[in-house]
Amino acid sequence: MKKALFFGDSNTYGYDPAGFMGGRYPRDARWTTILERYLSGQEPWQIADDGMPGRALPVTRWEWEYLASLLRRETPLDLFAVMLGTNDLLSTLRPDPDRTARRMNDMLTFVENVLVEVAEEAGSEGPAPQILLIAPPRIRLTEASFGASYVSGDMSCAQMYYEAGRKLAENYAELAKWRQIRFADASKWELDFAYDGVHLSEKGHLLFAKQMAEVLRGDAQN
C-alpha cells in the first residue's frame, strides 16, 4: 500500500463555515477520506492529512519545527502533497503571489531536506517520496465572503484577489516545473463552494476527491 500525506489549510481540514462557530464536515464527507475510498482498488493508498484553518506558509520557528515533526511522524511516505497559499493572499489588502511562491519554494526545500535526513537516519535506500504541489481552488469572492473574518477588505477587492489567485497558480506551475516535482492546478477544477465562496461545500469535497484521484492515478496533472 502506498501512503500520501496532504498538508494544507481549512479546505484540507474540511472546514464547514456554516457549522456552529465554524465546524467541520463529517469525516466521511471530507475529500481526503473520499479520496482514500476512490483509491482502494488494486493499488490502494493510505491518505494522511494535516489541515489547519487559517494556515499560511510557515514563517515562525514553531511552524517549521511542527512541519519537521509531522514529516518524521508520517514517514515512510510515497508522496508529500501541499496545498497552501490562499490565506497568504486573503489575509492582506496587498496580496503578493510572487512572494507567496517564493515562500512556497522555501518550504519545499525544507521538506526535501527533512525527508533526506529521515531517509539517511533510517538507512533507507529506496526512492525518495514524490512531492506534489497543488495550486489552491479559485478565488472568486462574493459579498458574503467579506463578512468573514478571514477575508480582508470589501467587494471592491474581489477582482484583486481573483487575479492574485490566478497568478499564484501560474507561479506554482512554473515552480513545480523548475523543481521537477508533480503539479496539480485545482484552480481550474469545476468545484462547488459554501456560501462564503472560500471553503468547499460537501459537494465540492466530492468533486475535489474525484479530480485528485485522477492525479494520483497518473491520469491527470492539471
Ordered per-residue pLDDT tens for the chain, 222 residues: 999 999 999 999 999 998 765 689 999 999 999 999 999 987 899 999 999 999 999 999 999 999 999 999 999 999 999 999 999 999 999 999 999 999 999 999 999 999 999 998 988 777 889 999 999 999 999 899 998 889 999 999 999 999 999 999 999 999 999 999 999 999 999 999 999 999 999 999 999 999 999 999 985 444
Q: Which of 50, 36, 51 is nearest to 1 (CA)?
A: 36
Tell me, what's the pLDDT at 221? 46
Beta strands in 27-78 (DSSP E): 45-51
Tell me what pLDDT residue 148 has: 85
Cell of 173: 506551475
Predicted local distance difference test score (pLDDT) of residue 218: 84
pLDDT at residue number 27 = 95
**Does an H or E element contain 20, and which?**
none
Read off the pTM.
0.95
Angle between helices 97-122 and 61-74 (to 10 degrees): 40
Beta strands 182-185 and 130-135: pairing type? parallel
pLDDT at 20: 61
Residues sharing a CB contact under 8 Å with residue 146, sequence separation 6 or more, in sequence order: 153, 154, 155, 157
User: Residue 162 corresponds to which cell in the numbers above?
Assistant: 481573483
8 A C-beta contact, residue 53 and residue 46: no
Q: What's the pLDDT at 92?
A: 95
Please give the CATH architecture assigned to the domain spanning 2-217: 3-Layer(aba) Sandwich (3.40)
